[in-house]
Structure 1
């Protein structure tokens, strides 16, 4: 090994150096070629060295290139540095082995260091950040030793650092026990640690003090906890509850200050001015709830550390400061409170009666009558309580809860003639309805909103308003009011929202005129013969030869009744006849069928129907083998004129209307056999339209028309078919008639319902007065005619029912 060799090579493969290692050490080499084959090393030197030194240089080069070497008595194992911990066995060097005496540095070993004067943890904290990645270090607090796994060179560096840091403590410490007579040892111990844990021993970094149980023994190999470096804790506080004493270990100056505080401020008897206990009789609140509330407010840390007292009713507000800086530190740990639900009373014990001054004020504010959280009854003037409650609850419900609102009606429900019939046979009937909530007119669906879907998970958006999910609104339909339950800070906002929804709905007065216009054209010309004569269909437009008293009658033979060109034959009639020459032309006539006027609210359907109920046979049932009679079943079908309008008021105060007109009549010419009876058919004509008009503008709907044309010729056999002669022996009757239904619809917007009586109902009131005048006169004449003695009326005369009552003087 003393032979000199020259070690000088560049980028040599690691596997090429294994024979030299075997030659120098005489040990077997076990490399992990798959890991180290690709590694190359370089050693540059111009001076020969011994084989032992050359081997050390190669091991150092291995370590620089992340190759580790583990050497035992018989073999050498080579692997990457990150894997050397799995190579076993490795050389273990105990606390007594001084690695500074080793000549080689590249070999990987396990070195154990014993720390004698300070804490091993403190030195471990300083060594860990400076170690390379391939090294491993751990600490054994029980034996106060440090375990290092790495190369010998790293172990030498750690040994030198430990030798420097493992020295006796700088501060001189001592131990002293304080036995307390009045104060609680636990409270005093917490105060000591809170005040002195960060300042004793000259330490500038506060550290958690050591709270030891004196009944537990210590490991004899563990050094005192107060030694070591600058940041080693120099304060140890223990409590012996059996003797109510506190044992403190620290430097002389800290011990002296603690003793002064205990003697002059902490361990003093209670004051003689006033009692240290007091009872509170609660009038409005539950004592258990008040006790729990005081516990949360006055307990140190507000973390629920209070311990339940005897019988489950006592709470001891005890805890430690522990360096707490919360608002409850000043009032913590000074009360013990016990609640008595049977007598609704609190019993409080404190060490200083002066504490009751502010506790009395606190309990007085807690024990007050409940004035918030009660529901408020909000009366509605215009809107429906059920509808407003539905809207508010849907709007203010929390995400994922609540239900939608009923969708508004859309379109027209149509005129249900089967439902319009009253179920009884009626010769003639009429009905008018406004603001109809027909089930077929609306969608009947519910509007669902996106926030009602239960969506959870991360990223969920917060509520967009502070009042969402914090109120309840229940309708009181009997009084048309809402019961609002909300927290005080949002109750006013909810009531303001309800008042904004409680506004009068705008109304629309639908005035309609249903008129039938008949356009007729009739022409009749010729000679009609008959035994007594024929009366003209329209005497005003007929020319009659002769008079009705002395018509131009002739019997037997009569000459010269025709022009000379035809005077070649004689005609003999055995009967009397009246010769009528008629030319008829009818003028146009207009007939008003209905003139309804309906009030309806915005976007509410208004329906008018006038007609009659017609019974239709639907079936017959016989008794069969039981010998019973025949039972017939009928349905009442309404036949007549129907008008269906849904108005919508636009922003410009125009009116958009959906209009449906339906006419039906019985057609007896076409029948349907049902059993032994023939049912007539129903002819119906229907018109649907959508239109937008201005306020008080009239729209005309036409086109519902029926046209008929009749051509009739009557004449004398044979002669009536001969040209020229047919002028004297025949009669032609041509009739053309057209009936058309015209509907005039005028919408009028009513913004204020109070205007209905004085403005929009004025015409109806005048008409009622005209009708009532003859009825009143006729009634008086009947009284005089029959000489009826009616009792005289006393008191004030009643208000004229036709005159509107001024709302300002109404009771």
Structure 2
């Protein structure tokens, strides 16, 4: 071939080319890098120089590096998303990205999950002692003060974290809750698409709760019997309280029989939607102390029905929002002082024994904890814990000269599934109260033996059952949240006044007129479906 250029090698039978050093260059080649001057020293035949020069020019090209792209996150944490992005961008078979020079510290190895979640308390002793806490001190006079932090969170690390993946770098700015991408366009597009799928609003559940007290008579010993009288108002009922087994004479047995409804899991997990009528009560009775009723989709109508009888008294109507699979707590009660230690005869002051007592406060509350889990088709599984504390009347005991109250505790924990918007009734926590009254002629009624002829004694017995009605409502989109807001403002009839109650300069709303609510945010197309 003219010029002495190497001739191409023949093709293999399979279609491949036998590429070797002789097929590209002539003779040998030696490349030596000069790090000090950033040059490459080439020793080869002159015929190979154009090829080597072009090859070095291709490798020494300027790679365009895009400007840093910042993506602000709305619903997820930048520190939690960063490890997921690293795993998604790392090629299979390669090691994960390493932390950059400015990377912040992650979780401390071996650290206990409970660290940073403790409850800080400050106790004060009467007199002129000091108020001590974990971070401050002070002085006060008289009384007892108990300060506790019931809501504790993990300490937030706002130090930026940087991870290098190949020629790209990801920075998690936890203070601004954003992800900064330094890399080519391909990496930026991948990160943006991943964050579009992850940075979405979590579904929320509105738990509308009515806590009330149902008064029972002797013939209506359990709330389930009272509710059974209004079976045409209820979808179904299931009861977990029986001392007679399946032959409880206090439960009305209908003439018609139906097939039993399926029970999910053990006896304490019941699906109220599967209970069609009261013919299924007997087949689904299990041991326990709680009652579950699927009471339809209208919580307000059910409460009005109960109050209309005069036997149901509403104690509170809390409504809370919680995210999917997050705990919501509703509690109401009081703190009762309980002496825990007493020191006497430690010294004498003016011929009197010195007495020092240490007092703790015990919570006597009605506590309801709910963890909702949204299933398919807006069905909600509720993990419910119900705890009721009460002081036992005339139940104080004397310990070391101190009167210590007796606290009665009732406890229920179960899991139940319910459709979106349906009402669940929890009951079965019954309290008996006995009362005696004496009326008679003074002095004469107190004479032994013959005093009974001059007085009248009346005794009464009252049974009260704690009833909790709960209606879970799922809000998956902005439109759902807006409709729920409209519904509750129309129900409570004080929605517009909330915006003007504290504003003296705002225009007043005339009676009989209603302020139109502002238009909701335009939801995305996928939110409407």
What's the TM-score, normalizing by structure 1?
0.35
Helix, strand or coil at the partner of 2:55: helix
Deviations 1:184-203 (A, max 9, x none): xxxxxxxxxxxxxxxxxxxx
Helix, strand or coil at the partner of 1:670: coil
Q: Are residues 1:381 and 2:74 paired?
A: yes
Q: Are residues 1:368 and 2:65 paired?
A: no
Number of residue-to-residue matches in the alignment: 355
For 2:322, the equivalent position in structure 1 comes to 600
> Alignment RMSD, CA only?
5.6
For residues 220-619 of structure 1, the aligned pairs below 5 Å read 325-326=19-20, 329-333=23-27, 336-348=30-42, 351-352=45-46, 355-371=48-64, 378-390=71-83, 475-482=172-179, 496-519=193-216, 588-619=310-341
Shift of 1:381: 3.2
Shift of 1:699: 0.7
For residues 560-709 of structure 1, the aligned pairs below 5 Å read 588-620=310-342, 632-667=357-392, 669-673=394-398, 675-709=400-434
Helix, strand or coil at the partner of 2:76: coil
CA distance in 1, matches of 2:347, 2:438: 59
Contact 1:339 1:347 in 2 (8 A): yes
Helix, strand or coil at the partner of 1:731: strand
Relative to 1, partners in 2 of residues 1:342 and 1:383: Cα closer, same or farther, differing over 3 Å? same
Shift of 1:340: 3.1
Relative to 1, partners in 2 of residues 1:470 and 1:363: Cα closer, same or farther, differing over 3 Å? closer
Helix, strand or coil at the partner of 2:394: strand
Contact 1:426 1:612 in 2 (8 A): no
Contact 1:647 1:658 in 2 (8 A): yes
Deviations 1:130-150 (A, max 9, x none): xxxxxxxxxxxxxxxxxxxxx
Q: Are residues 1:752 and 2:445 paired?
A: no
Larger Rg: 1
CA distance in 2, matches of 1:401, 1:617: 61
Deviations 1:594-642 (A, max 9, x none): 2111111111111111223333322245795899976543333322221
Relative to 1, partners in 2 of residues 1:373 and 1:656: Cα closer, same or farther, differing over 3 Å? same
Relative to 1, partners in 2 of residues 1:755 and 1:432: Cα closer, same or farther, differing over 3 Å? farther
Contact 2:64 2:184 in 1 (8 A): no
CA distance in 1, matches of 2:331, 2:521: 34
Deviations 1:366-391 (A, max 9, x none): 12344579997654332233443455
Structure 1, unmatched stretches of 5+, are: 1-260, 267-323, 407-415, 439-467, 522-586, 781-800
Helix, strand or coil at the partner of 2:386: strand
Relative to 1, partners in 2 of residues 1:772 and 1:680: Cα closer, same or farther, differing over 3 Å? farther
Contact 1:471 1:487 in 2 (8 A): yes
Helix, strand or coil at the partner of 2:337: strand
CA distance in 1, matches of 2:91, 2:45: 50
For 1:740, the equivalent position in structure 2 comes to 465
Helix, strand or coil at the partner of 2:396: strand
CA distance in 1, matches of 2:42, 2:370: 76
CA distance in 2, matches of 1:397, 1:360: 32
CA distance in 2, matches of 1:693, 1:650: 10
Q: Among residues 494, 499, 503, which one is paired with 1:767 in the alignment?
A: 494
Contact 1:437 1:605 in 2 (8 A): no
Structure 2, unmatched stretches of 5+, are: 5-17, 97-106, 108-116, 125-142, 155-164, 219-308, 508-514, 523-529
Helix, strand or coil at the partner of 1:382: coil
CA distance in 1, matches of 2:61, 2:337: 74
Helix, strand or coil at the partner of 2:405: strand
Shift of 1:339: 3.5
For 2:235, the equivalent position in structure 1 comes to none
Contact 1:510 1:598 in 2 (8 A): yes
Relative to 1, partners in 2 of residues 1:623 and 1:501: Cα closer, same or farther, differing over 3 Å? farther
Contact 1:605 1:645 in 2 (8 A): yes
Deviations 1:316-353 (A, max 9, x none): xxxxxxxx84266322546554433333233445543x
Helix, strand or coil at the partner of 2:329: strand
Contact 2:123 2:145 in 1 (8 A): no
Contact 1:517 1:588 in 2 (8 A): no
Relative to 1, partners in 2 of residues 1:389 and 1:742: Cα closer, same or farther, differing over 3 Å? same
Shift of 1:746: 0.4
Contact 1:432 1:608 in 2 (8 A): no
Contact 2:214 2:311 in 1 (8 A): yes
Contact 2:122 2:145 in 1 (8 A): no
Relative to 1, partners in 2 of residues 1:471 and 1:742: Cα closer, same or farther, differing over 3 Å? farther
Shift of 1:729: 6.4
Contact 1:385 1:476 in 2 (8 A): yes
Q: Choose between structure 1 and 2: higher helix proportion.
A: 1
Helix, strand or coil at the partner of 1:763: helix
Relative to 1, partners in 2 of residues 1:774 and 1:359: Cα closer, same or farther, differing over 3 Å? closer
Shift of 1:509: 0.7
